[in-house]
Amino acid sequence: MSDLAEIISRNQDQIRADWIRTMGKSVQRPDLISKTELDEQCETLLQAIVAGAKGGDSANIRNAGWSQAREFLEGISASRARQGFSPIEVATFVLSLKQPLFAAIRQDLARGQDKLFEAIWTATELLDGLALVTTEAYIATREELILRQQQELLELSTPVVKLWDGVLALPIIGTLDSARTQVVMENLLQTVVSTNSRFAIIDITGVPTVDTLVAQHLLKTITAARLMGAECIVSGVRPQIAQTIVHLGINLEDVMTRANLADAFALALQMSGRTVVRKASLAAESKGILAGPMNKQES
């Protein structure tokens, strides 16, 4: 390993120049990063590799000795992901170092074939590992962005509405995935507490399909609500979903369900001891709009 460190140190400028040339115009992306900055990044990485090669005894980049190189790569990968570089461009940044590095190794160790092979193998292992680090970091950054966007979309698309004192409704539109379901359900439970609502109607009329994971989350939410002292009613179960649920062997014995939101609402009202009554006196007093304004109720 320390052979590698020496070889790189001695030929740093040459290697760096070759490297940038090998990267090729398409990967350099002069539109996204300046030549000076790119040059600086190459220098920093080379120095980090020298430091790692000097300190460590192997190409295992998980070792502490390589943390400087790793952290540097993670940092620029993340920033490149945000800037709009493609994954290939980011990985090629590291991989294109191979050719100039091998060339330098060959030049230095031309006489000892075994040493030559060893050095080249170590170098290739190392650079492959570092390239994968960049890919990992790149993907992580993109996923973070996607997650954030999903969150924002989620908050916009699944409001919890109050139907009546103590009765909430959660109309869900669109496909439910595991992550979305979790967030939506947590939000529902939180609203149950903040509005002191004993009943929560989960309406899935707008949900085309339900898979095992989503069904489990739903059940978990219903159980959690019950633990808290509230009751959930699931409404709008389509025939297809009913079939899926049975096929998946999910037990819905303890769950209250209704065909539609209106029925679920009626049930919630009933369970909370309320009835909707048409006032007989009002009906009698209603003379129709042609007869003039209605009198105020006598009490």
Q: How far is the CB of 42 from another protein (least distance, A)?
A: 21
Question: 48 Cβ partners below 8 Å, 6+ apart?
Answer: 68, 69, 72
Q: How far is the CB of 279 from another protein (least distance, A)?
A: 11
Q: How far is the CB of 170 from another protein (least distance, A)?
A: 14
Residue 39 or residue 74: which is nearer to another protein going by CB?
74
Q: How far is the CB of 62 from another protein (least distance, A)?
A: 7
Residue 19 or residue 138: which is nearer to another protein going by CB?
138
Between the alpha carbon of residue 78 and those of residues 29, 34, 132, 170, 250, the distances in Å are 16, 17, 13, 37, 42
- Rounded to the nearest 5°, which phi and psi values hold at 198? -75, -20
C-alpha closest to that of 267 among 203, 193, 180: 203
Block residue for tokens 């633990």: 227
Which runs of consecutive H residues, i.e. helices, occur in 56-85?
67-83
Residue 110 or residue 227: which is nearer to another protein going by CB?
227
CB atoms under 10 Å from CB of 25, counted, come to: 8
C-alpha closest to that of 176 among 244, 232, 227: 244
Residue 50 or residue 73: which is nearer to another protein going by CB?
73
In angstroms, the CA 77 to CA 133 distance is 9
Residue 174 or residue 229: which is nearer to another protein going by CB?
229
Query: Is 174 within 8 Å of 145 (Cβ atoms)?
Result: no
Q: How far is the CB of 278 from another protein (least distance, A)?
A: 15
Provide the binding-site residues for another protein, judged by CB under 8 A: 62, 70, 74, 78, 133, 136-137, 139-141, 143-144, 164-166, 186, 189-190, 192-193, 196-198, 220-221, 223-230, 273-274, 299
Q: How far is the CB of 74 from another protein (least distance, A)?
A: 6
58-67 contacts at long range (C-beta below 8 A, 24 or more positions apart)? 58/1, 59/1, 59/122, 59/125, 59/126, 59/129, 60/129, 61/126, 61/129, 61/130, 61/133
Q: How far is the CB of 11 from another protein (least distance, A)?
A: 30
Residue 39 or residue 136: which is nearer to another protein going by CB?
136
Amino acid at 133: V
